[in-house]
Structure 1
Amino acid sequence: MGLATVIENEAHFQTEIGSAGTKLVVVDFTATWCPPCQRIAPFFEQLPAKFPRAVFLKVDVDRCAETASAQGISAMPTFVFFKNRTRIDRLQGPDPGSLEAKVRQYYGTDEAADEDSAVAGHMDLVTFITKSECECLNESDDHPLAHALNNGSGYLASDCDEQLIINITFNQVVKLHSLKIKAPADKGPKTLKLFINQPRTLDFDQAAGNTSVQELELTPSDLEGGNPVPLKFVKFQNVQNIQIFIKDNQSGGEVTLVNHLAFYGSPICTTNMGEFKRVAGKKGESH
């Protein structure tokens, strides 16, 4: 079973996007007269069985001209990816390998899906983190930051003393709602200072001396990884990068450990593509 849902009109499209919640939605913009669309159609129909937690929609651009226009579709097939009513990516052309790779990239793991529902209306932003641009000062060589960004693949440990500075860069501007930190009750972080949109990673003197956007005092129960730690949402509406200065840990020891660090929120770009259409030009105009 698990076939893609054929969209009837714009209202139907908005209903499907809305009811999907934090699930990944993959939309195939297609046309009956387009041979590349027909070539990739059987492959697209196999994806719902492979990715049962995602929602797959088919939009015929002639039948649903309003939706195609609102999404700035100029060539078929175009695949558009949504999460949380937010457009996160698009792919043009009938390339099964690229299509499946993108679905896999945004699909997430089973654990992430369970956790997504724990922060209503917000999603784990792990797919938006540019891992190559993240860094951590005073991380242990054997237990670097990368271990804490992937749930279940080890942990982050401090090296010379208990302090850490973590710099997380996102590949697009996001709104941050909360953090989720899983760490041991004794060696987990206690005092956190949060900074955003710094041009480069702060050093320890700057982190200690500069005024932060928010300071958090965590309790051992905050470190169980179950409940997210809310941020002052109004101050984190436009975040390209976030830096976390971990000042000390729960027991006052020399080593701080973090098993898992996750960020919940949403990317800024929305499904309202009014701005996009103006750039693309009107129908019939050459680009």
Structure 2
Amino acid sequence: MFSSTVRRSILTQQSIRQLPTTATASKASIHNLYKPILSNKYFYSTMAEEGVHNLMSKADFDKALGEKGVMVLDCFATWCGPCKTIAPQVVKYSKAYPSARFYKLDVDEVPDVAQELGIRAMPTFIVFKDGEKSKEVVGANPKALEAAIKDHVEEAGAA
């Protein structure tokens, strides 16, 4: 449940040197024990701050697709090395092109959408314009991805 750093902190605070150890505690001491762990130091979220949003279901995908404008969809897998490598670039592009909407779709979590889109390799980036598939970039190719995004954002701005 908690990281090894947190476990180590708890064990050190309670002077526990060896496991297994049995200890008793009052309700107040348990609250004081977990108070630093429940602070923002250990639990935080940066998804909204980064500007790239997760699509967790087909309904989420359909809702995002129904919106007007340019949408960039990053189809990834958590075990995919190239997906992890290019992820910071996607965040950078989301900030550089604020008129486009950026979404991530975990192909293992939402396989019906991945199958519907014909995803065969990760990462695959699909650029949609007004709900219609317009461009696909397969692989972790930052230059090709940025070119596709830039073309569609400029085209949408000119229209």
Structure 1 Cα separation of the partners of residues 154 and 127 of structure 2 = 13
2:40 counterpart of 1:5: no
Structure 2 Cα separation of the partners of residues 88 and 30 of structure 1 = 19
Q: Which letter does structure 2 place at the counterpart of 1:90?
A: E
**TM-score of the aligned structures, taking structure 1 as reference length:** 0.37
**TM-score of the aligned structures, taking structure 2 as reference length:** 0.66
Match of 1:80 in 2: 126
Q: Percent identity?
A: 33
Residue 91 of structure 1 aligns to a residue in which SS? strand
2:97 counterpart of 1:51: yes
Match of 1:65 in 2: 111
Conserved 8 A contact 2:54-2:105: yes
Match of 1:25 in 2: 71
Structure 2 Cα separation of the partners of residues 16 and 54 of structure 1 = 12
**Structure (1 or 2) with the greater helix fraction:** 2
How many pairs were matched up?
111
Evaluate the alpha carbon distance shift between residue 60 and residue 111 of structure 1 in structure 2; reply closer, same or farther with a 3 A threshold: closer
Residue 94 of structure 1 aligns to a residue in which SS? coil
Structure 2 Cα separation of the partners of residues 71 and 111 of structure 1 = 26
Evaluate the alpha carbon distance shift between residue 101 and residue 63 of structure 1 in structure 2; reply closer, same or farther with a 3 A threshold: same
Conserved 8 A contact 2:57-2:110: yes
Q: Which letter does structure 1 place at the counterpart of 2:116?
A: A
* Cα RMSD (Å): 1.4
How do 1:1-287 and structure 2 match up within 5 A? 1-19=49-67, 21=68, 23-108=69-154, 111-112=157-158, 124=159
Superposed displacement of residue 46, structure 1 = 1.3
Conserved 8 A contact 1:2-1:52: no
**Structure (1 or 2) with the greater strand fraction:** 1
Q: Which letter does structure 1 place at the counterpart of 2:55?
A: I
Taking CA–CA contacts closer than 8 Å with sequence separation of 6 or more, which of the two structures ends up with the larger relative contact order? 2
User: Mind listing any 5+ residue stretches in structure 2 that lack a counterpart?
Assistant: 1-48
Structure 2 Cα separation of the partners of residues 41 and 103 of structure 1 = 15
